């Protein structure tokens, strides 16, 4: 449930334009490409000899986030960062952000200040300029729509369609933590609803909670690959689950994939928590989503450059399209990969309660 500030300022006391000016006061432009930001009919951006990248996400209360356990500051941070992740997944750099917001009268100004503190922190941490947006009223809770704009050197954008047979499949970080963190939050919410006086049992679970509530975009991986002289042949961020993203790469590139279960990186906290929930940690990694790690393919010629780097793991290789996408389990069994991750229009998606 939304925690109301002690001192409340009703939205109607500021009005739409007064609210925009109030919430965005202090957002300064940081990029040369940002010529004019908030305060006019449109932002003015200039990129010269760079390609422009644009991505948009819409988030609805009760579908993509639950304010019973998602603090508004964390929501603002996460909503911005997951958009930045899409730009990094194209080998680009996010530079501008626009935010459209609809909310009901149950949100006082102070609540929206918390939300915008999260936006501001994300923009500061990633060097992104807030340059515009819109606000309106809502009868169905909080609605957010964010658009991130970025750039990449001409011809250097990396899509999902460049993987070749024999390429190595690589992923950053570890997987499954965000989904297991969500299960923990949902469990404690259920306990609270049954026993309002009970205190949440979250001690020792900081890592998986942060993976769910405050993910980070892997800017460091894009920079690392550039420093190592490695150019991925295809790339995608893991928002909908590992299996779904592999199938996207296979479809767009016209190839198959052999994924090795024993190579999938899973943090010990994630593994142990999954077992506590009587869940298969591998399934959590394959289908959970919201990890926002980068997955990419590279030529085998680049193997020596990355083989000893602790930030990435080689988890498989690309094959002929006729072989399909398969998981090779720890016993050598072969299983077709299926998309079990987020589906916006399917009520039983694994991460239905959270942003995809």
> Tell me, what CATH number does 149's domain have?
3.30.1330.10
Q: Is residue 280 part of a domain?
A: yes
Per the structure, the complete domain to which residue 107 belongs is given by 11-153
In a domain, 5, yes or no: no
Are 182 and 41 part of one and the same domain?
A: no
Q: Closest by alpha carbon to 183, among 275, 245, 262? A: 275
What kind and span of H or E run contains 147? strand 143-153
Looking at residue 261, the DSSP 8-state letter turns out to be G
- 245, 256, 353: which is closest to 293 by C-alpha? 245
Tell me: do 179 and 319 sit in the same domain: yes
- Tens digits of residue pLDDT in 172-216: 999 999 999 999 999 999 988 888 888 888 888 999 999 999 999
**Span 326-354, pLDDT tens digits:** 999 999 999 999 987 545 545 544 443 33
* Distance separating alpha carbons of residues 291 and 237, to the nearest angstrom: 8
pTM above 0.85, yes or no: yes
| Total count of residues recorded for the chain | 356
Q: How far is CA 356 from the centre of its chain?
A: 7
Within-domain flag for 248: yes
How many structural domains are present in the chain?
A: 2
- Pick left, alpha or beta for residue 23 (phi over 0 → left; psi -120 to 50 → alpha; otherwise beta): alpha
Q: What is the pLDDT of residues 273-321, one digit of tens each?
A: 999 999 999 999 999 999 999 999 999 999 999 999 999 999 999 999 9
- pLDDT band for 47, please (50, 70, 90 cuts): confident
Q: How far apart are CA 238 and CA 295, in angstroms?
A: 7
Are 143 and 197 members of one domain?
no
Strand-pairing partners, residue 162, are none
Which conformational region is residue 41 in: left (phi greater than 0), alpha (psi within -120 to 50 degrees), or beta?
alpha
Q: Within this chain, do residues 189 and 318 fall inside the same structural domain, yes or no? A: yes
Domain-ending residue, one of 153, 184, 217: 153
Q: Which of 101, 122, 153 is the last residue of a domain?
A: 153
Q: Are residues 190 and 322 in the same domain?
A: yes
Q: Could you tell me if 327 and 180 lie in one domain?
A: yes
């Amino acid at each position: 449930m939304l925690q109301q500030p002690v001192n409340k300022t009703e939205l109607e006391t500021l009005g739409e334009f007064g609210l925009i000016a109030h919430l965005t006061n202090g957002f300064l432009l940081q990029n040369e490409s940002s010529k004019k930001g908030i305060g006019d009919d449109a932002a003015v951006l200039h990129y010269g000899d760079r390609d422009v990248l644009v991505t948009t996400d819409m988030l609805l209360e009760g579908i993509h986030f639950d304010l019973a356990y998602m603090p508004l500051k964390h929501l603002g941070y996460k909503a911005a960062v997951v958009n930045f992740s899409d730009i990094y997944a194209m080998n680009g750099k996010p530079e501008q952000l626009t935010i459209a917001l609809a909310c009901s009268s149950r949100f006082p100004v102070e609540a929206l200040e918390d939300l915008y503190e999260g936006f501001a922190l994300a923009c500061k941490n990633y060097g992104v300029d807030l340059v515009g947006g819109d606000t309106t009223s809502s009868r169905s809770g909080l609605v957010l729509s964010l658009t991130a704009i970025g750039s990449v050197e001409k011809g250097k954008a990396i899509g999902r369609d460049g993987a070749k047979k024999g390429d190595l499949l690589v992923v950053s970080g570890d997987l499954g933590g965000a989904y297991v963190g969500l299960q923990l939050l949902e469990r404690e919410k259920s306990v609270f609803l049954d026993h309002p006086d009970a205190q949440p049992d979250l001690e020792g679970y900081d890592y998986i909670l942060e993976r769910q509530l405050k993910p980070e975009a892997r800017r460091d991986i894009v920079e690392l690959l550039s420093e190592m002289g490695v150019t991925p042949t295809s790339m995608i961020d893991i928002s909908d689950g590992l299996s779904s993203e592999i199938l996207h790469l296979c479809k767009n590139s016209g190839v198959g994939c052999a994924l090795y279960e024993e190579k999938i990186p899973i943090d010990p906290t994630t593994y142990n928590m999954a077992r506590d929930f009587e869940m298969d940690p591998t399934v959590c990694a394959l289908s959970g989503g919201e990890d926002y790690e980068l997955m990419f393919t590279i030529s085998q010629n680049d193997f020596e450059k990355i083989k000893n780097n602790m930030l990435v793991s080689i988890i498989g290789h690309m094959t002929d399209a006729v072989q399909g996408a398969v998981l090779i389990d720890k016993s050598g069994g072969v299983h077709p990969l299926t998309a079990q991750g987020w589906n916006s229009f399917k009520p039983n998606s694994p991460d239905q309660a959270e942003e995809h």
